[in-house]
Structure 1
Amino acid sequence: MNELHFLGYYFHVLAGIVWIGMLYYFNFVQTEYFKEAEASAKADAMAKLAPRALWWFRWGALITFLTGAYLFHKLGAFGVAMPAIWMGALAGTLMFLNVWLIIWPKQQIVLGMKEGDGPAAAAKAGLASRTNTLLSGPMLLGMLGSGKLALGGTDTGLYAAMGLIVLLEANALFGGQGPMKSVVGVVHCSLALALVIFGLLNYV
């Protein structure tokens, strides 16, 4: 591995820590706090805290995606039998698109940065954010498992895993939160999804 590839890995992991760290902060801490906060405290946080957190969130996502795309292209994903990386890359790409095309535009409405239906925007952003939390487990499985797990499945299992991820993204666009309404629910769903996808990649 040359120095450029190492730097790609370094900034991919560093930006990913920022991105997913902020994702978990929003879903596990800030959202729950806003449910209980006094109106004045919530208004102050929405004016001063949330915009700063969203800045780190969206730019962390962008740098993670760009460095990941570089590594995916340069370090052997194309033409190599590494099913986990394909599944992880799909999940990560959809998560990145959710940030920039759904969560950030809708949060701008919620925070009063542009006009729109605040409650509807909050619901849409919340569903996309919960979906990203759901997909973070399988995404991490794909990133860590590539080249490290001797997966015994076939292309059928890979296609099934990727199809499942696409269906969950469709739910983010057109469905509802279901069991992901609570912190415990989304954590359990993410872990269960990672186990299901591991089974598909390894045994199907």
Structure 2
Amino acid sequence: MSAYIIEFIFRWAHVLFGITWIGMLYYFNFVQTEYFKEAEAGAKADAMKKLAPRALWWFRWGAMFTFLTGLVLLMSVRAFSNFEASALIWVGSLAGILMFLNVWLIIWPNQKIVLGLAEGEGPVAAAKAGLASRTNTLFSGPMLFGMLGSKHLPMETSTTGLIACAVVILALEANGLFGKQGPMTKVVGVIHMSILLTGVIWALLAFL
């Protein structure tokens, strides 16, 4: 089997797992969270017992296998054939890796507390999981921009632009760990912020 076929299989799997992961991310942020705000106590309790754990299973394992297949693709020599492509891949990869870590190190451990599967303070855990989930939604736009841009968006980039993008993304991750949701409290807010962040990343890569 040629290297091209193997790479295609991993790329196909990467996209498939990514659809599962990000689809569940959007479901949690755009559907389930908003539903829980309005649901009656009994309906919410039933959903937290039967629905949320199933959804979180697909969510976290979708993230895991998206990360693993992406890691294989990232190690491909052809992925770094030129600086312009590699800069975009690094931006997308940085966002994706942070999102993966947020899932397994912040969202899932705190969601276990919220669901009563682990000891801890429910409201505090819910706030931490919620902020990390909003941050992942924020990063989803730039992550996809990096993935698609490396193949389909010819542009001149610089090391300065790449460093600036990394600083912005890491600063927002720090906010996701220790800050507040701010404008991302509302669904429309996090969507707008993700689009805005994607534009900022594009501008930094294009003009610095």
- Normalised by the length of structure 2, the TM-score is 0.96
1:149: how far off? 1.3
RMSD (Å), alpha carbons? 1.0
More helix as a share of residues: 2
Number of the residue aligned with 1:30: 32
Number of the residue aligned with 2:7: 5
What does 1:31-110 align with in structure 2 at a 5 Å threshold? Answer: 31-78=33-80, 80-81=82-83, 82-110=86-114
What does 1:1-204 align with in structure 2 at a 5 Å threshold? Answer: 2-78=4-80, 80-81=82-83, 82-204=86-208
Amino acid at match of 1:6: F
Unaligned runs of 5+ in 1: none
Cα distance change of structure 1 residues 75 and 60 upon mapping to structure 2, 3 Å threshold: farther
Amino acid at match of 1:193: L
Spell out structure 1 runs of 4+ moving beyond 2 A: 75-80
Amino acid at match of 1:146: S
Q: C-alpha distance in 1, partners of 2:105/2:19?
A: 21
Q: Which has the larger displacement, 8-17 or 148-157?
A: 148-157
Amino acid at match of 1:16: G
1:74: how far off? 1.5
1:77: how far off? 3.5
Q: C-alpha distance in 1, partners of 2:95/2:194?
A: 12
Q: Which has the larger displacement, 40-49 or 148-157?
A: 148-157
1:123: how far off? 0.1
